[in-house]
Structure 1
Amino acid sequence: MLKPVASQPSIFPFGLRIDEPVATVTDLAVALVCGYAYVQMGRKYLHSRAQVHFRNYFLLVAVATTLGGLIGHGFLYAFSFAWKLPGWLVGIVSVSLVERAAISHARGLIRPGIARFFLALNIVEMVAILVITIATLDFRWVEYHNAYGLIVNVVGFHGYVFYRTRDRGSLIVLGAVVITAVASVVFTRHISLHQWFNYIDLSHVLLAIAAYIMYLGAIRLGRHEKSLQPNSPAQTEAHGRS
């Protein structure tokens, strides 16, 4: 495994101090990718429930990573550690949205009670994590929320949809989750390539790639969405098999 390296020194363009400059730039790169996805999904007029959740997810991730890049990395010295919270909290809500997108996309293939249960649990779990994160100022709770949301709900529901329908959009979303998991390993294990491209920077680049692939999956879902709506033949078949 690559050894951790020293943190990046600050830079002073035009006399302005910027801490962790590459982390700042790569965080903003994630924001740009997600902003692009948000705008493009709006232009494509994709209005299924799952795609609305996906579009709002991209918007919130863009906001969270902008806050993270500017306040959490570049200019934290001008604030306090607690100012990391806004980016964290927006990020928590964003993951809850991508969970709801997965559940909504699968609603036509599962029992209505199961969908209602997971949608309610989604809200309860999100609120609990928000409260705990505010109380502890501990980023680990954000990581726990992300892991639960992506593995249990996103992988679980999109995996089931792909198993039942061979929905290529769901398969692409699953690929994005795999890349996100790799980014998490890079971050938690502090796998760095260089002082000027450390584990934070590398994880951000992987997250930007994952976000773009997630966008490709989200727009592809619309090609199968009608077969997953309530009272559709696919739903009737699913209930008959249950």
Structure 2
Amino acid sequence: MELSSNISAVVTGGASGLGGAVVDGLLAKGVKVAILDINTPTKETDAVFCQTDVTDPESVMTALEKARKANGQERICVNCAGIAPAAKTVSRGAAHDAALFQKVINVNLVGSFNVSSQSALGMSKADTLNEDGERGVIINTASVAAFEGQIGQIAYGASKGGVAAMTIPMARDLAKLGIRVMAIAPGIFGTPMVTAFPQDVQDSLASNIPFPNRLGSPNEFAKLAMHIAENSFLNGEVIRLDGATRMQPR
């Protein structure tokens, strides 16, 4: 797929962080972008903002209708919306709050599914873009926690494991429609949440990354997302983007 002004994209969680970097990268290529986020963007942007609760299918439907009215049918769907509260299975004599566990699953996994499935329906009705018969691409955000969830990441690891596991069956479901499905599993990145930590904490996090020995840049995540969109033979895979990190228990 060639990234240009003829292409539209939707990015969940695009108001900041990894999603915000994807929005900026796509806009720089001339792509028409809509941000689907429960929060308003943290800076001025040329993207269309659609306030969205990804856990609510009706909210997703309304947001996609607004995005398509402004930009046309999206050919790129990037899901970055997510939350990462920390809690152990059992801590201080109490079990993990079941409602919190369900919330994390709903936002990170069900939210990605809601947007992906509804976006895919719209893509399936669009004309093909190239000789491969491609109609669009869906890029979900997993995490290295899907494979090496740390202490206190039971809900987050489970949700991201679900995102990773969803990749190949969704790619197979949508193959005949010309829609690709990929996932990126980022390691430790310099998102606003992490850069708000004291410098010594950031340095400690970066010290376990083999090479480059630093936090990942959101722009590097965006570059990979855009390469996935451009490379039509990438399909059905989860790509780790982590500087060879393998997470320790804590």
TM > 0.5 fold call? no
TM-score normalised according to structure 2 size: 0.33
Higher helix proportion (structure 1 or 2): 1
Q: Which has the larger radius of gyration?
A: 1
